[in-house]
Chains A and B, each alone.
Chain A
Amino acid sequence: MNSQETRKFRLPLRQYIAEKTIRGLLFGSGLLSIFVTISIVAILVVESVKFFGYEDVTLIKFLTDTQWTPLFADKHFGIMPLLVGTLMVAFIALLVALPLGLLSAIYLSEYAKPKIRSVLKPLLEILAGIPTVVYGYFALVTVTPFLKQLVPGLGVFNALSAGIVMGIMILPMVSSLSEDAIRVVPDSLRRASIALGATKFETTTRVVVPASLSGVVSAFILAASRAIGETMIVAIAAGMNPTLTFSPLRSIETMTAYIVQVSLGDTPVGTLEYQSIFAVGMALFVMTLFFNILSHFVVKKYREVYQ
């Protein structure tokens, strides 16, 4: 504080003004991110309120009705089918991504030789950088026909194929975040465990992974958030059929796919159907925000600090 005061007197006025102006501009850019968040929340809230202002649409019905038929004559706005569809695809994706991601992370940080690591890591990064629309194509054109040979009765559009491919998509993220968490476990812990007679396997599974658990769990939660918000794979491969079903073999519709469906169609601005995408978007935003905050919380609360 004191040094700033003295500098203020030493600087020529013109330079002082320039310095302050630039500082203000940079500060403004820093604040922009906050305005983005405020705009997102404001838009979702205002437009959702408009949606719930329509006749026959109430928050209770939105949350409890088991039918979602906004484009039919007999309109029902119950988010349940979309929610179940979203959670089912995300669950399948996590079933694929969590074990594979954690195991790859363990392999990369505990077992792999530096040379293999330096090849595997960039390959995983390529996998992470492939656009989701490409994964959608892969799910629809390659994975679904392949699964059809194994699973009779699988539809052209189905939650299973979309879920598996989504799992592959988020695998690199799980792997890289978990690996970061595992690598910061200090070597002294590993040495102590080995010195006590534990094998490498025992050291890894009973010392290293538990020690990095907060980071691994937070990676899992972020992966769940990512799976829920993923759009193109499900829009292409899981269908646009909002039925309440728990069968992964059938065509379903996720919340994100519904938003895409309405944006693609000719639904006029300001109609009830059009307004419904903001309510669904709100539900999506709240869910992902919850997971993101939970993941921060897990790291903050349960992190073991080593020196």
Chain B
Amino acid sequence: MNQQTSRNSQEELFPGKPVKSLGEKNPNIEKSHTRGTVFKWIAIGAAGIAVVVLAILLIDIFRDGVGRLRPEFFTEYPSRHPEEAGIKSAIYGSIWVMVFTVLFSLPLGVAAAFYLEEFAPKNKLTEIININIANLAAVPSIVYGILGLALFVRFFALGRSVLAGALTMGLLILPIIIIASREAIRGVPSSLREASMGLGATKWQTVRHHVLPQAFPGILTGTILALSRAVGETAPLIMIGALTFVPFVPGNIETFSDIIADPLALIAFAPMDGFTVLPIQIFNWVSRPEAAFHVAAAGAIVVLLVILLSMNALAIFLRYRFEKKGPQTR
């Protein structure tokens, strides 16, 4: 009924023109709907490919490497015989490098973030620092390796040591930590700052006692994610000369009783020792022609991925936990 009137009125308005009722199929509209559906499925396919590849990658590596995950794999040093080779020195090396990386980059990164968010005046220099940090985050990691080689290994004469590696990694993740910390600081409501300042606190007291505690979970999450990037980095440490065959652990400190027996080694010898890390051990094994070493590499990759996933899970857990709790000072 309704359709009938609309057709009549259209005929009155445009006499002589053929009019299609809404019920009739318009081939143009049909075509564009088909096109739309096809496009949608292509888009789904594109997103799906990424997931499928991720699944293939994980399954493949797990299948190759899981057989190597016996206790000996973790307690043996690398070896010429692929079946006996283990990742002990690589795990110790990774831990050492990460600890020093955090000690170096966390305070500096957070301080820079606080400067830029809370103190920096709006001027040319601040703008330059901002652009510079964005650019540094996009510099290829191997260029940081070149920097570490020339600056820490040679200029500061640290040699091919844990410390040189950690400082290089520290510079590499510094922009990431700064960017993440700034975001966390920006999330702190300004009413908190105003209240603190209104009560007569200085800018630093406000930052120290109110903004920092509020932003801390976010900073922590960002730092863990930045570290998980550093754990997997290979190229810069190859550049600064992390060794590929390391039959020892830094400072020969293997257990906690070793630390008690010789605490000096912890700060004096271990940071200056040669080292290897998990990704370099993997690279070394992958580069060999023997398939048995590829199996060892797959085993080490499984370990590396488990470490990375746990770090990510920890970061997500922390974010979730503190988000639920909400601001603490209310």
Interface residues of B in 32-64 (CB under 8 A from A): 32-33, 35-36, 39-40, 42-47, 49-51, 53-54, 56-57, 60-61, 64
Comparing B2-10, B11-19, B130-138, B268-276, the segment that makes contact with chain A is: B130-138
Chain B interface size, under 10 / 10 to 19 / 20 to 34 / 35 or more = 35 or more
Given that A19-B202, A107-B46, A168-B50 are known contacts, is A256 also in contact with B140, CB under 8 Å in the complex? yes
B232: which of A25, A132, A138 is its contact (CB, 8 Å)? A132
The answer, yes or no, to whether A70 is at the interface (CB within 8 Å) is: no
Query: Which chain B residues lie closer than 8 Å to A192 at the CB level?
Result: none
A229 pairs with B142, CB closer than 8 A: yes
B119 pairs with A175, CB closer than 8 A: no
Query: Which chain B residues lie closer than 8 Å to A111 at the CB level?
Result: 40, 43-44
Query: Which chain A residues lie closer than 8 Å to B287 at the CB level?
Result: 236
Shortest CB-to-CB span from B228 to chain A, Å, is: 6
Query: Which chain B residues lie closer than 8 Å to A73 at the CB level?
Result: none
1/0 contact trace for B270-291 toward A, CB 8 Å?
Answer: 0000000001001100110000
Name the residue of chain A whose CB is nearest to the CB of B147: A40
Shortest CB-to-CB span from B165 to chain A, Å, is: 13
The answer, yes or no, to whether B209 is at the interface (CB within 8 Å) is: no
Shortest CB-to-CB span from B248 to chain A, Å, is: 20
The answer, yes or no, to whether B112 is at the interface (CB within 8 Å) is: yes
- Report Cα–Cα, A127/B57, bound state, in Å: 10
B305: which of A32, A130, A199, A256 is its contact (CB, 8 Å)? A130
A33 pairs with B133, CB closer than 8 A: yes
Query: Which chain B residues lie closer than 8 Å to A285 at the CB level?
Result: 139-140, 143
The answer, yes or no, to whether A31 is at the interface (CB within 8 Å) is: yes
- Report Cα–Cα, A188/B129, bound state, in Å: 36
Given that A30-B116, A199-B36 are known contacts, is A131 also in contact with B238, CB under 8 Å in the complex? no
Shortest CB-to-CB span from B294 to chain A, Å, is: 6
Query: Which chain A residues lie closer than 8 Å to B45 at the CB level?
Result: 103
- Report Cα–Cα, A126/B315, bound state, in Å: 13
A133: which of B54, B147, B232 is its contact (CB, 8 Å)? B232
1/0 contact trace for A96-135 toward B, CB 8 Å?
Answer: 0001110110111001100000001001101101111110
The answer, yes or no, to whether A160 is at the interface (CB within 8 Å) is: no
Comparing A53-61, A74-82, A241-249, A257-265, the segment that makes contact with chain B is: A257-265
A168 pairs with B279, CB closer than 8 A: no
Name the residue of chain B whose CB is nearest to the CB of A112: B47
Query: Which chain A residues lie closer than 8 Å to B57 at the CB level?
Result: 130, 134, 138, 142
Query: Which chain A residues lie closer than 8 Å to B119 at the CB level?
Result: 23, 26-27
B32: which of A131, A202, A235, A256 is its contact (CB, 8 Å)? A202
1/0 contact trace for B208-237 toward A, CB 8 Å?
Answer: 000000000000000000001101111100
The answer, yes or no, to whether A34 is at the interface (CB within 8 Å) is: yes
Name the residue of chain B whose CB is nearest to the CB of A34: B132
Comparing B73-81, B170-178, B252-260, B318-326, the segment that makes contact with chain A is: B170-178
Comparing B95-103, B188-196, B296-304, the segment that makes contact with chain A is: B296-304
The answer, yes or no, to whether B128 is at the interface (CB within 8 Å) is: yes
A103 pairs with B42, CB closer than 8 A: yes
- Report Cα–Cα, A21/B287, bound state, in Å: 51
Query: Which chain B residues lie closer than 8 Å to A140 at the CB level?
Result: 286
Query: Which chain B residues lie closer than 8 Å to A7 at the CB level?
Result: 202
- Report Cα–Cα, A219/B113, bound state, in Å: 25
Name the residue of chain B whose CB is nearest to the CB of A124: B50
A27 pairs with B53, CB closer than 8 A: no
B114 pairs with A26, CB closer than 8 A: yes
B129 pairs with A123, CB closer than 8 A: no
The answer, yes or no, to whether B141 is at the interface (CB within 8 Å) is: yes
A133 pairs with B234, CB closer than 8 A: yes
Shortest CB-to-CB span from A111 to chain B, Å, is: 6
A32 pairs with B112, CB closer than 8 A: yes
Name the residue of chain B whose CB is nearest to the CB of A108: B47
Query: Which chain B residues lie closer than 8 Å to A133 at the CB level?
Result: 232, 234, 279, 282-283, 286, 301
The answer, yes or no, to whether B115 is at the interface (CB within 8 Å) is: yes
B146 pairs with A138, CB closer than 8 A: no
B244 pairs with A134, CB closer than 8 A: no
Shortest CB-to-CB span from A97 to chain B, Å, is: 10
Given that A32-B174, A133-B232, A138-B57 are known contacts, is A18 also in contact with B204, CB under 8 Å in the complex? yes
The answer, yes or no, to whether B308 is at the interface (CB within 8 Å) is: yes
Residue from A19, A26, A33 having most chain B Cβ neighbours under 10 A? A33
Interface residues of A in 272-291 (CB under 8 A from B): 277-278, 281, 284-285, 288-289
The answer, yes or no, to whether B150 is at the interface (CB within 8 Å) is: yes
The answer, yes or no, to whether A171 is at the interface (CB within 8 Å) is: yes
A134 pairs with B282, CB closer than 8 A: yes
A137: which of B136, B143, B147, B282 is its contact (CB, 8 Å)? B282
The answer, yes or no, to whether B292 is at the interface (CB within 8 Å) is: no
- Report Cα–Cα, A175/B197, bound state, in Å: 43
B305 pairs with A201, CB closer than 8 A: no
Name the residue of chain A whose CB is nearest to the CB of B107: A29
- Report Cα–Cα, A219/B134, bound state, in Å: 14
- Enumerate the 4 nearest inter-chain pairs by beta-carbon distance, A residue then B residue, closest first: A229-B140, A131-B232, A201-B36, A103-B46
